[in-house]
Amino acid sequence: MPVNNKITFQFISEPSDVNFGGKVHGGIVMKWIDQTAYTCARNWSENYCVTVYVGGIRFYKPISIGEVIKINAYVIYTGTTSIHIAVDVYARKFGDTDFEKKTHCVIVFVAVDENGKPIDVKKWTPKTEKELKLAEYAEKLVLLREEINEEMKPFFDEFISDE
């Protein structure tokens, strides 16, 4: 069976997902994102994966309790051991036919062996114009993360040494 680089989850938001404002709690949405993205990364790598980065999470609009949720996760870039997954969260009311985009982010996973050591993943190659643009987007995010890490390094070192 060929390995797919995309996965979609659909379900209904539940009353237990509510925050104090009466909408779905952002932490619940982040959990859904991680679960869907993990499944996509695991399918691609065919190995256990760990989350190493969640970035640029953008909540566009709140999600209401009782809405139909659709989460699309798809591979947009692979490194030697990493798999970059873009995730889009959509919601719709039961009476509606169209989903509305509510959230977007990129999650990076690393495939690991039974000892937790990173292992190589097969390369993902973009085939369409949209996939090429997504791969370029992921590569830009890699560079931005490197810049941010370098910029923040003195603060991380200072924070750790103060403990």
Q: Following DSSP, what letter does each residue of 107-129 receive, concatenated?
A: EEEEEB-TTS-B---PPP---SH
pLDDT-derived band at 133, boundaries 50, 70, 90: very high
The pLDDT value given to residue 51: 95
User: Is residue 161, in this structure, part of any structural domain at all?
Assistant: no
User: Is residue 133, in this structure, part of any structural domain at all?
Assistant: no
Q: Is the pLDDT of residue 58 over 70?
A: yes
Q: Is the pLDDT of residue 136 over 50?
A: yes
Domain range for 84 is: 6-124
Residue 130 backbone phi and psi in degrees, to 5? -60, -45
Give the number of domains in the chain. 1
Q: What is the mean pLDDT of residues 5-18?
A: 94
Q: What is the mean pLDDT of residues 92-102?
A: 95
How many CA within 13 A on the CB side of residue 105? 21
Distance set, CA 145 to CA 14, 55, 106, 118 (Å):
35, 9, 12, 19
User: Is residue 155, in this structure, part of any structural domain at all?
Assistant: no
Any idea what the CATH number is for the domain that residue 59 is in?
3.10.129.10
User: Is residue 18, in this structure, part of any structural domain at all?
Assistant: yes
User: Is residue 159, in this structure, part of any structural domain at all?
Assistant: no
The pLDDT value given to residue 158: 62
User: Is residue 150, in this structure, part of any structural domain at all?
Assistant: no
User: Is residue 19, in this structure, part of any structural domain at all?
Assistant: yes
* The model scores a pTM over 0.85: yes
pLDDT-derived band at 148, boundaries 50, 70, 90: confident
Bridge partners (DSSP) listed for residue 118: 112
What is the C-alpha separation between 143 and 163, in angstroms, rounded? Answer: 30
Q: What is the mean pLDDT of residues 107-135?
A: 94
The pLDDT value given to residue 142: 87
